[in-house]
Amino acid sequence: MDLNSHKSTCTNKPALPCFSRCRPAALKLNALTWSPYRNKHLLKPINIDVKAGEFVAVVGPNGAGKTSLLRCLYRVNKPTSGEIMLDGQNIWSLSARQCAQRIATVLQDTGVEFALTVFEMVEIGLIPRSTGWKRTVSDIDAINRVLALLDVAHLSSRNFNSLSGGERQRVMIARALVQEPDVLILDEPTNHLDIRHQLEVLALLASLPCTIIISLHDLSLAAAYADRVLVLKNGEMQHYSSASNVFTKANIEQVFEVKTIIDQHPITDRPRFSFYLNQQQD
């Protein structure tokens, strides 16, 4: 079964009106390592090429290094060695503002209380490309468009702090989208979302013209939407290929220490995984 047969390629992605300034970028990781410690790498040498416009899912068990890797990509963790190239330019040679104009992020949890409305939270995404605080008609239109895309337009005047976890997450994705990034990095964006919004958000992300790098726990979602999948375990790259090459029974057992039944969903034709512990019998 071809796990990628249901997906369209990056070149077929529609151009959304609110993404007119997006220029999808290529990323290249050359022997990237990172650690807060002097003599022990938490991320061991990672070498991958991400083509402009690709949707790359990062998967692995807890503690695999997914968040640490993403923090390197959006310039919070400076690599211990190696480099991250954005369209051939080391991201650490760019200014913070230049990076923010090209790379947007959505984190697992904001961890901060904001006394702002939903509209104002999304408006923050305009700052990297803005020359002043005055908002134009097109700015306001862009905010309203992404609020509608994420199904949170009806919350526009609500205080951000009053929202549920899932609503907050969709607002933070909207804030990243209004930034019109060339690269969008998301760390477990579906964690707080119900099933419907998980599917809607990932379908929306897959339609965007920018390069997407996203960490996910759900292997079915990764297989359904990603062009390529990066598998990490104990800070080390295990696989980097298409979902059909990565998500085999042997690979899943080696990385996640569970056995798997892989079949095809009868309605969507997407791959479906059923997991069970090694000690259980078929």
Other beta carbons within 10 Å of 81: 12
Tell whether the model's pLDDT for residue 37 goes beyond 80.
yes
Fold for the domain defined by 24-112+181-276: Rossmann fold (3.40.50)
- How confident is the model over 41-81, as pLDDT tens digits? 899 999 999 999 999 999 999 999 999 999 999 999 999 99
Give the single-character DSSP code of 3.
Answer: T
pTM of the model: 0.90
Contacts of 103 (CB under 8 A, 6+ apart): 73, 74, 75, 86, 91, 181, 182, 183, 184, 185
- How confident is the model over 206-215, as pLDDT tens digits? 999 899 999 9
Q: Which two tokens stand for residue 164?
A: 């549920």
Give the single-character DSSP code of 89.
Answer: E
3-class SS at 221? helix
Output the CA angle 54-58-64, nearest 5 degrees.
160
